[in-house]
Amino acid sequence: MVDLRHPRVRGKEEDHRFLSRILLAEERKRVAREGPPSLWLHWAAKEAAYKVVCKEPRSRPAFRHRSFRVEPGAGPPTQAREGRVWYGGVAYPFQTEVSGEEGWLHVVALAQENGGTSLESVGREVALLPDGPADWRRLWRGRFTEAEWRSVHSFPSAAARIRAREALAGPLQLSEGDLEIVTGPGPIGRAPPVLLVGGRPFPGDISLSHHGRFVAWSAVIADRQGADHGR
């Protein structure tokens, strides 16, 4: 998730030290041709692929942007675009959504072995971050279980969870309170989230993201027959 109007985003395409740290030579040439939105497409695609890698059954790697190589498909970076991110000899497909009017870019990536799930079937939403009261921790704590509350590290983290639970409850024929989005051990804000129903992992996958003015979630939910459906 990238807020394209965030103050720290503006002008970064001119920060050559930053570009050298996160982009490979071929990616820098592409960004120079395509302009600033392309920089954030590359950034978000690498971030999304890293989230996928962290969910795979292997040790979590240190996140070095240059270890991930973005191979976008044809099209301008200001429009929806598909492509692949390469890491460790494995290609992770990704898809972008862009809102020029609201000023955001959101990227979803999938594991290579995704059980037949397509990018088009991944449910997702980008929403404005609501205004947060100064005492939001006191006011909102009652909306989370203890396990979920331990996973909340900031107001946007809490807001993204609530937004995702509200959106998923209806399709799952559950109440929002039946759902938990928790994270396991790991660095704050980096451990992958897990959707629980009744305290047990629910089939499927979920991801949360936030930046600047926006929160986002994406999810694939498996029904009782094992088929995957975006929600």
- CA dist., res. 112 & res. 110, Å (int): 6
- Calpha distance 119→109 (Å, rounded): 8
pLDDT of residue 188: 63
Fold category of 2-113 in CATH = Ribosomal Protein L22; Chain A (3.90.470)
pLDDT at res. 119: 78
What is the pLDDT, as a whole number, of residue 66?
Answer: 96
Asked if the model's pLDDT at residue 231 lies above 90, the reply is no
Contact criterion met (CB below 8 Å) for 23 and 16: no
User: Does 2-113 match 126-230 in CATH topology?
Assistant: yes
The percent of residues above 90 in pLDDT, for the chain, comes to 68
Query: Considering the entire predicted model, what is its pTM?
Result: 0.89
CATH number of 126-230: 3.90.470.20
Nearest to 47 by CA among 188, 159, 216, 209: 209
Domain segments of the chain as ranges: 2-113, 126-230
Is the per-residue pLDDT at 227 higher than 50?
no
Residues 23-35 pLDDT 10s = 999 999 999 999 9
